[in-house]
């Protein structure tokens, strides 16, 4: 679990934070000042990277939040087995299996033996294919 701690006011739309123990991508962020002596509040909406679940957070802007450290890597497609794809990391040469995302199903199934690879991320111990890429 590699994370770093930042203040909520430094988070921007499109960045990632940890909500409910899941890495989530921020989809909207609004701040409001409630009054003369009140602290500014931030309302944040985010979608989980790995589970697709919507999450929200309402806290003062000086609240500390965790930001996951994402490791983006490139892998070569070795084999397709049912709804799983076997990938070899091009830096460490380790092999592992990941589920095939629905949006890349046709592309990945036809990519075995070609120069098409995948870009995947590792965050909080989870891995996910993000896009296909020429290797």
pLDDT for position 5? 96
pLDDT for position 114? 82
Domain 3-68 sits in CATH at 2.30.30.30
Mean pLDDT over residues 79-99, rounded?
93
pLDDT one-digit tens code per residue, 17-75: 999 999 999 999 999 988 788 889 999 999 999 999 999 999 999 999 999 999 999 99
Q: Where are the domains of the chain?
A: 3-68, 71-134
How far, CA to CA in Å, does 79 sit from each of 57, 99, 107? 41, 12, 13
| Strand ranges inside the chain, DSSP E | 3-7, 16-19, 22-32, 41-48, 54-60, 64-68, 71-81, 84-89, 95-99, 116-123, 126-134
Higher pLDDT: 114 or 78? It is 78
109, containing H or E segment:
helix 105-109
Largest CA distance in the chain: 65
pLDDT for position 1? 57
CATH superfamily assigned to domain 71-134: Nucleic acid-binding proteins (2.40.50.140)
């Amino acid at each position: 679990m590699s994370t770093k701690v930042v203040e909520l006011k430094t988070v921007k739309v499109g960045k990632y934070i940890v909500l409910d123990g899941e890495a989530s991508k921020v989809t909207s962020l609004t701040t409001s000042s409630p009054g003369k002596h009140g602290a500014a509040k931030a309302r944040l909406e985010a979608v989980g990277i790995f589970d697709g679940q919507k999450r929200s957070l309402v806290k003062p802007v000086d609240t500390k939040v965790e930001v996951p450290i994402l490791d983006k890597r490139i892998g070569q497609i070795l084999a397709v087995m049912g709804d799983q794809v076997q990938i070899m990391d091009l830096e460490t040469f380790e092999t592992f299996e990941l589920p095939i995302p629905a949006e890349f199903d046709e592309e990945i199934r036809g990519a075995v033996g070609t120069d098409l690879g995948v870009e995947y991320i590792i965050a909080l111990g989870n891995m996910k294919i993000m896009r296909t890429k020429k290797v």
